[in-house]
Amino acid sequence: MGNYIGEHYLRRLVVFYIPLFMFLTVLLFPFYWMAITSVKTDAELYSAKSVPFLLFSFTGEHWRVLMQDTLFLRWAWNTLLIATVSTALSLIAGTLAGYSLSRLRFPGSSTFGISIFVTYLVPPTLLFIPLADVVSDLGLYDSPWALILTYPTFLVPFSTWLLMGYFATIPKELEECARIDGATRLQAMFKVVLPLGLPGLLSAGIFSFTLSWNEFLYALVFISSPEQKTIPVGVVSELIKGDVFFWGSLMAGALFGSVPVAIVYSFFVEHYVSGITGAVKG
């Protein structure tokens, strides 16, 4: 009996715990690297004799430069505002489109659904040139609205495709029962389908928020003034001067910029996995 228990734990150690530890080490190492780089002194940071993975001298100067000598807090507010509003717009459009394509049957509905997802596969580098003309004609250049209105061009297609798959897993009989009891289609949608589709909505929301928060190309093209920049563009443009890289402050900005997305994932990870799984099954 004792040998069996020992073999059982040894097998779990080899098959589960060791691979999990290695996976977490690889996954969390970039955060560790950013953290120690952001608090190393310049003497240690640029010394050829220093050990890259270890910290021997501590300083808060890089964080002070980031917070006081740059507009980082303003960039963080801009990024949060743009990501939140564009995510909300994308969720509204994606929910309505995903529901109609998964529940309503009309000529060309399947083709239309596939076409929406295909648009997501178009590289943003091919879209920012025509979008730049649209933004300029609307007078939105160098404004947060330039990003709020262009981000849904790549957020809505994926959100629609994901929600189509998730709504398809919800039994239609539940909605039909609500219709029999006198509910309109909109009432059945808001009171029956959307509450059951909450994991899918959270998955689409997290995905959209993450892409909006980390987006670089559109923010670089459509925003020019330092006050309107987002974190990805502001950190790169203001902390890289020619061939001089302020690595300590760069890593501090990268670490701070990663925290909100990590917090969002930590709170909703179970719903996120459930939504992705339901969408794939659908």
For every residue of 243-271, DSSP letters joined together read: TEE-HHHHHHHHHHHHHHHHHHHHHHHHH
Q: What is the pLDDT of residue 5?
A: 60
Residues 170 and 276 in one domain: yes
Tokens found for residue 3:
């040998």
Q: What is the pLDDT of residue 147?
A: 92
Q: What are phi and psi of 58, to 5 degrees?
A: -110, 140
Residues 139 and 258 in one domain: yes
In a domain, 53, yes or no: no
Report the first-to-last Cα separation within the chain, whole angstroms. 45
Residues 73 and 186 in one domain: yes
Consecutive 10-residue averages of pLDDT for the chain (282 residues): 62 79 87 88 80 80 88 92 93 89 75 75 80 87 90 88 83 82 82 83 86 89 90 88 83 84 70 51 48
Q: What is the pLDDT of residue 111?
A: 75
Cβ partners under 8 Å of residue 184, min gap 6: none
Q: What is the pLDDT of residue 82?
A: 94
| Among 48, 28, 46, residue whose Cα is nearest residue 37 | 46
Q: What is the pLDDT of residue 280?
A: 44
Report the DSSP beta bridge partners of residue 241.
Answer: 244
Residues 117 and 251 in one domain: yes
Q: What is the largest CA-CA distance in the chain?
A: 78
State the residue for tokens 């430069």. Answer: 65
Answer for the pair 127, 153: CB distance below 8 angstroms, yes or no. Answer: yes
Residues 184 and 237 in one domain: yes
For 194, other C-beta atoms within 10 Å of its C-beta total 16
Q: In whole angstroms, give the CA distance from residue 193 to residue 257.
A: 35
Structural domain containing residue 18: 2-45
- Please say whether the dihedral angle defined by the alpha carbons of residues 213, 80, 269 and 115, taken in this order, is positive or negative: negative
In a domain, 59, yes or no: no
Q: In whole angstroms, give the CA distance from residue 248 to residue 251.
A: 5
Q: What is the pLDDT of residue 269?
A: 63
Q: What is the pLDDT of residue 6?
A: 62
Residue 77 belongs to domain with CATH number: 1.10.3720.10
Q: According to DSSP H, which parts of the chain are helical?
A: 2-12, 18-38, 42-45, 61-68, 72-103, 109-120, 124-137, 144-150, 152-168, 172-180, 185-188, 194-196, 198-214, 217-222, 231-239, 247-281
How many residues are recorded in the chain?
Answer: 282
Residues 137 and 228 in one domain: yes
Q: Based on the structure, what is the number of domains in the chain?
A: 2
In a domain, 76, yes or no: yes
